[in-house]
A and B are shown apart, each in its own frame.
Chain A
């Protein structure tokens, strides 16, 4: 049966890569984000690449009024078929900018945590009613530990990871699977000019990995896989030592 996917934050490079793969599989795609010109262009492109349908929809994590119509659009496209959702939204102002203007915390937490969480909370009953479906939520390795360089972003990502864990617990009871993804360094706009990047993965690799493991029922996915070990080490550093590190 044709899958219907909602991609939240569809203009991000990881979402674009996932959309291309899903188009190749012939899925219905709802591309939700803020840059409507880009999303409309993507919709045309994805339809030519094999998507059963592709539709641009406005999503603003800071404007909950945009949420309901996205869910309705997906329901119309899906009919009796499953609805899946992948969440790529988030924002990461430089920590120095937040230090200078603490009000930036509100937007960061809304973009990366409470906005998408509220959207998923609205979607959850629909998925429960269908009794099937897959939710892929993108957290970050930054959420595993509060680090000096980006602890506000990290805190928001930690929040969404805990939320996803709870949502998994809830939706698993009705046959809907929720996977939390923690990407390491991925070659996106966010990491483009950051120094000290290593073993950077392409968005296409990461997207393919997410789909494959999500469909197999993985609960938490580090991608590329070795980040699981890197983060295991980082998590195991005792706090008295960790607080002195600048990793």
Chain B
């Protein structure tokens, strides 16, 4: 297998790496690489989770076949490089969906496992890994959920080695469209109450991270149910052709945009029919939307805090709104307890995700937010982080040492380390 010198970046485009990549085109070419380097997918992690500076990584995107579909049991066996959107597109007409879908359809199955991703149905369906019934590593080792290495692999940041394929238990649903109800929440308290009370299968809240005073924490709650009916014609994806200028996301522009975005939903709420992709992967229609932040890129902060920590959310939002650094992309969601690996992100509580332009003060603000999340008994999401320091992590992830022991036993020479695991010294945890 040939290695190619390459520079690549995380989705936030703040962090990048120069290293060597191999891209096996067939599974026969993957096996010999199994012990050499960690695998990467479509690099939709915002920070450095998919980066290996001055090292090697295996690009899995060409290994994207469906190996078996068992319609009777609702199980699919799929190679790790297949994307969630690809699966959804193939399965929906057959009356199935991936049980958990993250916010971008470009995420690969391997990536979804390595991050134990969650979706808009986390409160009911749990995390991605809870629907994985079997993982085949590139080494040939087959892991089932009762194998100790399974918990180190799910949410395990690729540190147990490249995943070749996985079996997923699917959701049986007749899905042509999504029925989406949008309602305004005028204050943070009412927003959180509505999230708690919602009985919808899929929920997500857009939050106006620039609103202050009375309006602090206002937003729009979206509740979705799958539906059968006429499918609106698919729209062609649009591309962002160049890096946006710096003022495009300046504070006054974002405030105005958010005001209009909030106002577009009538006070009484509304229900609409949306194509599946538009509801689950709203940003995927605009390819390379990360270029909207300009050359300097952006950071995303995502944390989850326990349900008792409403005060923490308020104080976080105050800091965010007054900073003038927030973008229109901010999400508030209720999480259930479901998680499948030692380092899985989810916990029962509220998760807040906010994108920030990369400017003076951004890192400092995010550092404060990380400290607040930790003090409240919450944690940050490795798929998004680009700012945390090694000392921030241990209290957040109680099973970190157990995980480190398991992955170090399987990879004593640390071939699978990434820039993320090194930056946060995750594998040195005791």
- Chain A interface (Cβ within 8 Å of chain B)? 11-13, 35, 37-38, 41-42, 44-45, 48-49, 188-189, 192-193
Chain B residue contacts of A189, Cβ below 8 A: 2, 23, 25
Q: Is the CB of A11 within 8 A of B25?
A: yes
A49-B27 in contact given A41-B65, A44-B66 (Cβ < 8 Å): no
> Contact at B65–A193, with CB atoms within 8 Å?
no
Q: Would A44 and B25 be within 8 Å (CB), given that A49-B90, A192-B2, A193-B3 are in contact?
A: no
Looking across the interface, which residue of chain A has its beta carbon closest to that of B4?
A: A193
B80 → A minimal CB distance (Å): 13
CB–CB A35/B26 < 8 A: yes
Besides the known contacts A11-B25, A38-B27, A189-B23, 8 further A-B residue pairs in the complex with CB atoms under 8 A apart:
A12-B25, A37-B27, A45-B65, A48-B66, A49-B90, A189-B2, A192-B23, A193-B3
How far, in angstroms, from A35 to B27 measured CA to CA in the complex? 10
CA distance A38 to B62 in the complex (A): 12
Does residue B272 face the partner (Cβ distance < 8 Å to A)? Answer: no
Report B7-35 residues with CB < 8 Å from chain A CB.
23, 25-28
Choose from A13, A37, A49, A192 the contact partner of B4 (Cβ within 8 Å): A192
Is B67 in the interface zone, CB < 8 Å from A? yes
A31 CB, nearest partner CB in chain B, Å? 12
Which residues of chain B have C-beta atoms less than 8 A from A49's C-beta?
66, 90
10 interchain pairs, CB-CB under 8 A: A12-B25, A13-B62, A35-B28, A38-B26, A41-B67, A44-B66, A44-B67, A48-B69, A192-B2, A193-B2
Q: What are the residues of chain B within 8 A of A44 when measuring CB–CB?
A: 65-69
A-binding residues in B (CB < 8 A): 2-4, 23, 25-28, 62, 65-69, 90
Chain B residues with CB under 8 A of A48:
66, 69, 90
Most buried by B among A11, A38, A49, A192: A192
CB nearest neighbor in B for A39 = B26
Q: Separation in Å of the B60 CB from the closest CB of chain A?
A: 14
Looking at the assembled complex, report how far the CB atom of B20 sits from the nearest CB atom of chain A, in whole angstroms. Answer: 9
The 9 nearest A-B residue pairs measured at CB: A193-B2, A45-B65, A193-B4, A38-B26, A45-B66, A189-B25, A48-B66, A41-B65, A48-B69
Using Cβ atoms and an 8 Å threshold, which residues of chain A touch B23?
A: 189, 192
Cβ contacts under 8 Å, B25 to chain A:
11-13, 188-189
Q: Smallest distance from the beta carbon of A171 to chain B beta carbons, Å?
A: 32
Report the separation of the CA atoms of residues A192 and B2 in the bound assembly, to the nearest whole angstrom: 8
Q: How many angstroms from the CA of A13 to the CA of B62 in the assembled complex?
A: 8
Residue on A nearest B94 in the bound complex, by CB: A48
In the complex where A13-B62, A192-B23, A193-B2 touch, is A45 in contact with B28 (Cβ < 8 A)?
A: no
- Within the complex, which residue of A12, A41, A192 is in contact with B27, where a contact is CB–CB below 8 Å? A41
- Bound-state CA distance A42–B68 (Å) is 10
Q: Assess the A45–B2 pair: CB atoms within 8 A.
A: no
Contacts of B27 in A (CB 8 A): 37-38, 41
Once A44-B65, A48-B69, A192-B4 are accepted as A-B contacts, the answer to whether A37 and B28 lie under 8 Å apart by CB is yes
Residues of the A chain whose Cβ atoms lie less than 8 Å from the Cβ of B90: 48-49
**Cβ–Cβ < 8 Å partners of B68 in chain A:** 44
Which residues of chain A are near B69, meaning CB under 8 Å?
A: 44, 48
Least CB separation from B165: chain A residue: A41
What residues of A have a CB within 8 angstroms of the CB of B67 in the complex? 41, 44-45
A113 to B26, CA, bound (A): 24
Complex contact A38–B28 (CB within 8 A): yes
Q: What separation, in Å, do the CA atoms of A188 and B24 have in the docked complex?
A: 10
Chain A residues, Cβ within 8 Å of B26: 11, 35, 38
Please, how many angstroms separate the alpha-carbon atoms of A12 and B26 in the complex? 9
Least distance between A186 CB and chain B CB atoms (Å): 12
Give the residue among A35, A37, A49, A193 with the most B Cβ atoms within 10 A. A193
List residues of chain A with CB within 8 A of the CB of B66: 44-45, 48-49
Chain B positions within 8 Å of A37 at CB level: 27-28
Q: Closest CB-CB distance, A146 to chain B, in whole Å?
A: 25
A128 vs chain B, min Cβ distance (A): 35
Chain A residue, CB-CB nearest to B76: A48
Q: Chain A's nearest CB lies how many Å from the CB of B121?
A: 24
In whole angstroms, what is the CA distance A41 to B26 when docked? 10
- Indicate if the CB atoms of A42 and B65 lie closer than 8 Å: yes
How far is it, in angstroms, between the C-alpha of A13 and the C-alpha of B29 when the chains are bound?
13
Residues of B close to A41: CB separation below 8 A? 27, 65, 67
With the chains together, A12 CA to B62 CA distance in Å?
A: 11
A49→B90 CA distance, assembly (Å): 6
Q: Residues of A contacting B28 with CB < 8 Å?
A: 35, 37-38
How distant is A53 from chain B, measured CB to nearest CB, in Å?
Answer: 16
Q: Which residue of B lies closest to A33 (CB)?
A: B26
**B122 CB to nearest chain A CB (Å):** 28
CA distance A49 to B94 in the complex (A): 11
CA gap between A206 and B28 in the complex, in Å: 25
Cβ–Cβ < 8 Å partners of A192 in chain B: 2, 4, 23
Instruction: Give complex CA distance A136, B90 in Å.
Output: 28
A35: min CB distance to chain B, Å: 6
Give the CA-CA distance A49 to B89 in the complex, in Å: 9
Docked CA distance A188–B26 (Å): 12
CA distance A243 to B90 in the complex (A): 52
A167–B189 alpha-carbon span in the complex (Å): 75
Docked complex Cα distance between A37 and B30 (Å): 13
Q: How far is the CB of B290 from the nearest CB of chain A, in Å?
A: 20
How many Å lie between the Cα of A11 and that of B65 in the bound state? 12
- Closest-CB distance, A50 to chain B (whole angstroms): 9
How far does the Cβ of A197 sit from chain B's closest Cβ, in whole Å? 10
How far in angstroms is the closest Cβ of chain A from B153? 22
Rounded to whole angstroms, the CA-CA distance of A150 and B49 in the bound complex is 39
Counting chain B CB atoms within 10 Å of each CB, which of A37, A42, A45 scores highest?
A45
